[in-house]
């Protein structure tokens, strides 16, 4: 009886225990995906407000077409966030790295777009990349030790909001003072710096894996 009872119970209790043993990531491991999320917030707000008006005038687009610029970014972001959340729970860098790459690609497509249709395609790509990073960041923050989790989440969200404000201000100033295309291009070095940071963090995690 004891043997039959133990065989039926042990497999059921071992799986939750194994999941509970997953270690909390060190704070430095969040640097890549969280900074990539801030970058996504910045890029979302870049062509909004007066910058969106400059974009409409540069491409001779209608108001309805330019309204799709932030909407399609959010659509791509929602899809990317779902994927980032699902994959990022176990392999955050597996989505953070392609996420930043998609943001860079979308930025280039948008900067050199000859028509509003191409701009919209670029915004979908940028939003998809931003969503991948954001989903992975949320999944990773939720694995932080409970004593630090709230502080990390609040600080990360606050900086993301600030990044939206900075993106809106930057796009409005640079996009109207020079050109909206130049505003997108000048943001590219920032994207590349974040890409380097994400790759460095990924390499460090392989060299210095979290103790188990």
Any domain includes 106: yes
Chain segment 121-165, per-residue pLDDT in tens: 999 999 999 999 999 999 888 888 788 888 989 999 999 999 999
Query: Would 41 be classed as within a structural domain?
Result: yes
60 DSSP assignment: T
Report yes or no on 83 lying in a domain: yes
Helix (H, G, I), strand (E, B) or coil at 10: helix
Question: Is residue 4 in a domain?
Answer: no
| Tokens at 116, concatenated | 């509003």
Residue 98: is its pLDDT beyond 70? yes
Q: Determine the 3-state secondary structure of 202 from DSSP.
A: helix
Using pLDDT thresholds of 50, 70 and 90, give the confidence band for residue 41: very high
pTM attached to this predicted model: 0.83
Number of domains in the chain: 1
Distance CA 114, CA 121 (A): 12
Residue 16 belongs to a domain: no
Residue 210 lies in a domain: no
Expressed as residue numbers, the domain containing 92 is: 35-205
Quote the tokens at residue 83. Answer: 């994927």
153 is a domain residue: yes
* Helices and strands counted in the chain (H then E): 8, 0
pLDDT, tens digit (0-9, with 9 covering 90-100), for 155-178: 999 999 999 999 999 999 998 888
Q: What is the CATH number of the domain that holds 166?
A: 1.20.1250.20
Position 208 confidence tier, pLDDT thresholds 50, 70, 90: low
User: Is 190 part of a structural domain of the chain?
Assistant: yes
């Amino acid at each position: 009886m004891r043997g039959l009872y133990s065989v039926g119970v042990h497999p059921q209790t071992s799986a939750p225990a194994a999941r509970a043993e997953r270690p909390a990531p060190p704070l430095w491991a969040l640097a890549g995906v969280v900074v990539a999320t801030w970058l996504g917030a910045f890029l979302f707000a870049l062509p909004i407000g007066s910058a969106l008006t400059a974009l409409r005038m540069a491409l001779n687009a209608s108001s309805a077409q330019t309204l799709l610029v932030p909407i399609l970014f959010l659509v791509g972001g929602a899809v990317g966030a779902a994927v980032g959340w699902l994959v990022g729970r176990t392999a955050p860098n597996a989505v953070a790295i392609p996420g930043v790459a998609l943001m860079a690609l979308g930025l280039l497509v948008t900067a050199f777009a000859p028509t509003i249709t191409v701009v919209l395609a670029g915004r979908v790509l940028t939003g998809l990349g931003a969503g991948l990073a954001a989903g992975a960041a949320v999944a990773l923050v939720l694995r932080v030790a409970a004593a630090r989790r709230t502080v990390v989440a609040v600080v990360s969200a606050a900086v993301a909001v600030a990044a939206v404000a900075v993106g809106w201000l930057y796009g409005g100033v640079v996009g109207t003072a020079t050109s909206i295309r130049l505003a997108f291009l000048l943001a590219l070095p920032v994207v590349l710096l974040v890409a380097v940071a994400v790759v460095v963090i990924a390499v460090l995690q392989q060299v210095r894996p979290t103790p188990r």
